[in-house]
Every structure is written in structure tokens, then in C-alpha cells.
Structure 1
Amino acid sequence: MSDYDDQNVFARILRGEIPSHTVFEDDGFVVIMDAMPQAPGHCLVIPKAPSRNLLDADDAVLAKAIALVKKVARAAKTAFAADGINIMQYNEPAAGQTVFHLHFHVIPRHADVPLKPHTGQMAPAAELAASAGKLKAALEAL
């Protein structure tokens, strides 16, 4: 396992160097919309503590992270009238990890609707902002 690279895209987002559509933020975490969503409402739960992935993360951070992931998943299911929720988390390149800062994907799913392929194309800002607003309102209602 390599060392943590503080120039990864999520570290840069956390420092405010790259804009994002923020849904929630506290001292330990940020929830943002995935800029390349595979389904409407696809968001990311990102701990602020630097770790490459789950394999080197602090156990206390992981405990808080999974509680927040659950809350965000419940809100996303409501906000996007989803039939289910995918929670995805990748560790190392062989497992599909491409950004080396611990993060969790929360993806609302609808029956018989496949995920969009990851094309590398960013969604329109207005679409991401609308999704962020819906998810934020659902989170606040919990």
C-alpha cells in the first residue's frame, strides 16, 4: 500500500481548491454529489481525516463514517423515491479504486434501471445542484 497523496481530488475538494456540490458538512465529514453520477442522487461520503482507503483508516473514523453513510442512504432513498440503495467502497486499483482518499458511494437505485457507465463526463452543474438540494432537504428532515 502506498502513502497517502494529499494532492488527490478529494483532498483538494476538502481544502476548497476544487468546487463541489456539498450536501452536508461537519468537523469530520463532507457529503458531496458525485460529479459523474451513475444514477440520479449519486453522492459521496468523504471523511476529512486523510487515509488512502478503508485498509489504513482509523477505526473511530470508520465507525462514524458508516453511521453517516446509513443516514445519507436513508435520505437518498426518500429524496429520489428509490427502490434500493447501492453502497460502494473500493480499496486499491485491483478493486477499482481510482481516487486514493477513503470515500463511500451512495447510489439510489430503481428497479430494472441499470447504472449509467462511468464515462468520465461531468454532469451539468444545474443537475448536480438540483440533486444536492433534494438530498439536503431529505437529510434535514430525518
Structure 2
Amino acid sequence: METIFSKIIKGTIPSVKLHEDDLCISILDINPVCKGHLLIIARDPYPTISECPDETLGHMMHLAKEADKKLRAVLHCDGTNIMINNGKASGQEVPHLHIHVIPRFEDDNQKLGFIKTTYAEGELAQYGERLEF
């Protein structure tokens, strides 16, 4: 399935490229949470992390680390969010594996939108048993 990222990788849609190699491409997000928000995109259109080979995923995480260093050095951000939205229910809008690296500043007024939940008595242990890997 061709995605907007496939078109960016092919060059049919313009982008501001920050890095390019055999496995990945990195671009500035055109709808940034904060200025400098970038994406690291797998060249092959793996829909989610489960389909991505370990070599590619490991390389993407290495690039996320390098992007974090660059954002801190150049933009002097106070931190970064490094995120993968994995599947539609998680907020993934493009079914093509990508990592968001978002520079964060103490005064940026951005908040992640999670509402925390709780476990009923004994439920935490049950989940632990079921999810062990």
C-alpha cells in the first residue's frame, strides 16, 4: 500500500530531509507539536512495529538517539518525546512505521493526552502473568 511517506521517500511529495540512508529517511514534520519536530521513517512500508525487522527498528532507534542529541545541541530543548504510535487505536495516522522525535521546552505548554487508569485488586498480578514474554 502506498502511503504519503512512500511518496516522500520516492520524491513525488516534497519534504525537508534531515537524514537519508538505505533503511530510513528523516524529515521535519509539517504539522509539528513544537518547531523541530521530526520523523524517522522506515523506507519499507511496515504498517506497525510488529512487521518491522529488528535491524531496521534498531537503526531507527539509533537515529532517534542521534536526533535527540542534535535537537538538544541546536535548539537547546529541555527534553524530547520519542514516540511510536503503533496502530490506529494508538493514534497512528499513517500506516507506515515512523518515530516522532519532538523537542520539548519547559514553557511549551504541550501535554500528552493520556488519562491514567487503575487496576482492581489482584488485577495487576493477573495482567503480569498473562503478558509475560
| Cα distance between partner residues in 2 of 1:92 and 1:37 | 20
Describe the superposition over 1:3-25 as per-residue Cα deviations: whole angstroms up to 9, x where unpaired.
Answer: xx2x2110111111110001111
Partner Cα distance (2:15, 2:109) in 1: 25
Gap regions ≥5 residues in structure 2: 112-133
Aligned residue among 97, 106, 109 for 1:111 = 106
1:59 to 2:54 alignment: yes
Structure 2 CA distance, aligned partners of 1:34 and 1:50? 18
8 Å CA contact 1:84, 1:109 repeated in 2: yes
Determine helix, strand or coil for the equivalent of 1:106: strand
Structure 2 distance, partners of 1:53, 1:79, is 31
Instruction: Say what the alpha-carbon RMSD is for the aligned residues.
Output: 1.3
Helix, strand or coil: the match of 1:45?
A: strand
1:27 CA drift (Å): 1.6
CA deviation after TM superposition for structure 1 residue 105, in Å: 0.5
Unaligned runs of 5+ in 1: 117-142
Shift in Å, 1:113 = 1.5
4+ runs deviating over 4 angstroms: none
Q: Which residue of 2 aligns with 1:13?
A: 8
One-letter amino acid of the structure 2 residue matched with residue 21 of structure 1? V
Give 2:31's aligned residue: 36
Partner of residue 49, structure 1: 44
Matched, 1:27 2:49: no
Once residues 6 and 110 of structure 2 are traced to their aligned partners in structure 1, the CA distance between those partners, rounded to angstroms, is: 26
Rounded to whole Å, the distance in 2 between the matches of 1:114 and 1:77 is 18
Give the match for residue 78 of structure 1.
Answer: 73
SS class of match (2:67): helix
8 Å contact 1:40–1:80 — kept in the other structure?
Answer: no
Contact (CA 8 Å) 1:88, 1:105: kept in 2 or not?
yes
The structure, 1 or 2, with the larger RCO (C-alpha pairs under 8 Å, 6+ apart) is 1
Give, as a single letter, the amino acid of the residue that structure 1 aligns with 2:104. Answer: R
Whole-angstrom CA distance in 2 between matches of 1:57 and 1:17: 24
